[in-house]
Amino acid sequence: MVTITNEKEIVEEKTSEVKAPKFNLGSFLQEVKVEFLKISWPSREQVSREFFSVILLVAFLTSVIYLLDKLFGTIVGFFTGGMINS
């Protein structure tokens, strides 16, 4: 760091180097335990409900994409004179 006291004099100060703290496994595991206790776990009912919601949504979207693929394949096949998706 450089400090200017007047126009002719420049004073340089040595800055202390900042060193990273050493890794301490015991301290790390203690912090993990504290953070783990803060987790709010969902109930079994909530997990079950959301699981089936996701399965239904995936099945629905898969069906829509399949039907759109067949529709566009038929349209392209009509204009090209052949069936692309049989």
Please list the ranges in the chain whose pLDDT falls under 50. Answer: none
Take residue 29 and report the two structure tokens written for it. 């595991």
Report which of 28, 47, 45 is spatially closest to residue 36, judged by C-alpha positions: 28
Please give the pLDDT value at position 77.
87
Please give the pLDDT value at position 21.
78
Please tell me the pTM assigned to this model: 0.53
Please give the pLDDT value at position 13.
57
Report which of 58, 84, 60 is spatially closest to residue 72, judged by C-alpha positions: 84
